[in-house]
Amino acid sequence: MISEKIYKKVLGIGGALIVGLLFSIFITLLINSLPTIKKLGFKFLYGKTWDPVFGNFGALPFIIGTILTSVIALIISIPFSLSVSLFVGEYYRDTLMSKILETFIEILAVIPSVIFGLWGLFYLAPIVRTLQLKLSLPPTGVSIFTASLILSIMIIPYAISVSKEVIKLVPIDLKEAAFSFGATHYEVIKKIILPYAKSGVFAGILLSFGRAIGETMAVTMVIGNSNYIPKNILTPGNTIASIIANEFLEAVETIHISTLIELALILFLISFFLNFIANFIIKKQKVSL
C-alpha cells in the first residue's frame, strides 16, 4: 500500500502541476497580448469600433455581448435548475423516476455544442424571427436572445449536478423535526432545505455561469456575428469567444492576432475571478457540502 507520506507528495505534485499550468496559460496570453496593451492600453476595453482592415480595435461590443448572453441565460435557467434539483433531490429522491431524469440530464450535459447550434438554427431561430417581425425588427432569427436561449438549455445540467447533491445532503432529522411541528413540504423547502443548501446551489449556479461565458460553437452559430454594440437583445451581436473563433485563423497582422489573444486573456481573467469570488462566498457561508 502507498504510505501517507508518498500519497501527500503525489497530491502536492499534482497541485503544483495545476498551478503551473494555470500560470503558464496566463503568461502565454499576457506575453502575446503585449503589442495590443502597449499600443491601445485601456482604450481597447472601452473602444466601440472593431475594424481590422483599418486597424480599429475595440472590445466593448464583445464584452457587452458576453455579459448579455450569459446573464440572460442564467436568469432563464435558474428556475428550471432549482425546480429540477428539488424534484430529483427531495420529492422523488432514490426513485426510478429520479434516476431516469438524472440520466437524461447527464446526456444533455455531454451533447456536443455544435448540435445545440444546429438545433437553434433550425428550431429556435424561426421562432425568434417571428417575434422580430411582430416587433418590426429585421427578421434575422439569429440574435443575442437566440444565443441566450441556447445557452440556458446548455447550462442547466451543470447547475443541477451540484444543487441536487447538496439538497440530498440536508439532514433528515431537520426535516422530520419540521414536519413534526406541522410544517408543510413547501415550508420545509423554504425554511430548512434552501437555507441549508444555499452554498451548494450558489456554487451550481456559478458553475453554469462560467460555462455560459466560455461557450463558443453554439453561440457562434446563432448570435449573428455582428461586431457592433447590440441595440437590444433581439439584434445580432458577438461574444468574446465567438469573435476569437471567427477571426483567429484569418488574422495575419501582429496587432490583429494580439487583440484576439488579449480578448482571450480577458475571458481567462473573468473566469478566474468568478471562481475566486465563488469560493470566497462559499467559505464565508461556512456551509458544509
**pLDDT per residue over 143-153, tens digit each?**
999 999 999 99
Other C-beta atoms closer than 10 Å to the C-beta of 118 total: 15
Task: Report yes or no: 68 and 233 within 8 Å, Cβ to Cβ.
Answer: yes
34-43, 61-70, 77-86, 205-214: which has the minimum mean pLDDT? 205-214
- The CB-side HSE value for 230 (13 A sphere, CA atoms) comes to 27
Write down the mean pLDDT value for the chain.
84
pLDDT for 281: 63
> What average pLDDT score do residues 278-285 get?
63
> What average pLDDT score do residues 150-171 get?
85
Cell numbers representing residue 199 in the block: 452554498
CATH of the domain at 10: 1.10.3720.10
Task: Tell me the pLDDT tens digit for each residue of 104-130.
Answer: 888 888 888 899 999 999 999 999 999
Beta bridge partners of 26: none
Tell whether the model's pLDDT for residue 249 goes beyond 70. Answer: yes
Question: 23 to each of 17, 145, 272, how far by Cα in Å?
Answer: 10, 35, 11
Amino acid at 84: V
Task: Report yes or no: 270 and 62 within 8 Å, Cβ to Cβ.
Answer: no
Please give the helix or strand (H or E) that residue 206 lies within, else none. Answer: helix 194-214
Task: Tell me the pLDDT tens digit for each residue of 6-65.
Answer: 656 666 676 678 778 888 888 999 999 999 988 888 888 888 889 888 888 989 999 999
Tell whether the model's pLDDT for residue 288 goes beyond 60. Answer: no
Q: Which domain holds residue 131?
A: 4-285
For residue 83, which of 202, 189, 172, 212 has the smallest C-alpha distance?
Answer: 189
The model carries a pTM of: 0.86
pLDDT for 289: 43
pLDDT for 274: 74
Measured distance CA(127)–CA(92) in Å, rounded:
34
pLDDT for 159: 83
Tell whether the model's pLDDT for residue 287 goes beyond 50. Answer: no
Q: How many domains does the chain contain in total?
A: 1
